[in-house]
Homo-oligomer: A and B are copies of this chain.
Amino acid sequence: MNEELINICKRSFDTKYIIEKLSCDVKNKALERVAEYLIDRSDYILAANKIDLDKAIEKGMNPGLVDRLTLTKERIKGIAEGILQVKELEDPVGELLDDYIADNGLKIKKVRVPMGVIGIIYESRPNVTADAFALTFKSGNAVILKGGSDAINSNKAITNTIREALKACEIPEDAIILIESTDRQVTAEFMKMKEYVDLLIPRGGAGLIRSVVENSTIPVIETGTGNCHIFVDETADLNKAVDIIINAKTQRVGVCNACESLVIHENIKDEFLPVLAKALREKNVEIRGDRATKEIIECIDATEEDFGTEYLSLIISVKTVANVDEAIEHINKYTTHHSESILTENEENKEKFLKGIDAACVYVNSSTRFTDGFEFGLGAEIGISTQKLHARGPMGLKELTSYKYLITGDYSVRG
Listed in ascending order, the chain A residues whose CB lies under 8 Å from chain B are 17, 21, 100, 102-104, 106, 108, 115-116, 194, 198-199, 213-214, 217, 219-221, 237, 240-241, 243-244, 247-248, 251, 332, 343, 350, 354-356, 358-367, 369-370, 375-377, 387-390, 392-393, 402-414
Contact = CB atoms under 8 A, between A and B. Distances in A.
Nearest to A215: B217
- Among A102, A362, A376, the one with the most B-chain Cβ atoms within 10 Å of its Cβ is A376
Contact of A104 (B251, B362, B370): B370
A359 B367 CA distance: 42
Given A375-B414, A389-B389, A407-B363, A213 B194 contact: yes
Nearest to A410: B365
B412 A355 contact: no
Nearest to A372: B414
- Chain B CB within 10 Å, residue with most, of A217, A350, A412: A412
Interface centre among A100, A359, A363 (most CB of B within 10 A): A363
A240 B392 CA distance: 46
A248 B17 CA distance: 27
B388 A402 contact: yes
Contact of A376 (B108, B354, B377): B108
Given A116-B358, A198-B387, A247-B414, 8 more contacts: A17-B356, A102-B376, A106-B375, A363-B409, A365-B408, A376-B405, A389-B389, A392-B403
A378 to B, nearest CB: 10
Kindly list the 8 A-B residue pairs having the minimum CB-CB distance in the complex, ordered from nearest: A366-B409, A388-B402, A247-B413, A240-B411, A390-B390, A369-B414, A219-B389, A366-B412
B366 A106 contact: yes
27 contacts: A17-B358, A102-B375, A102-B377, A104-B370, A108-B376, A115-B389, A198-B388, A219-B387, A219-B389, A241-B411, A243-B411, A243-B413, A247-B414, A251-B414, A360-B405, A361-B404, A361-B405, A362-B404, A362-B407, A364-B407, A365-B408, A366-B411, A370-B412, A370-B414, A376-B405, A390-B390, A392-B404
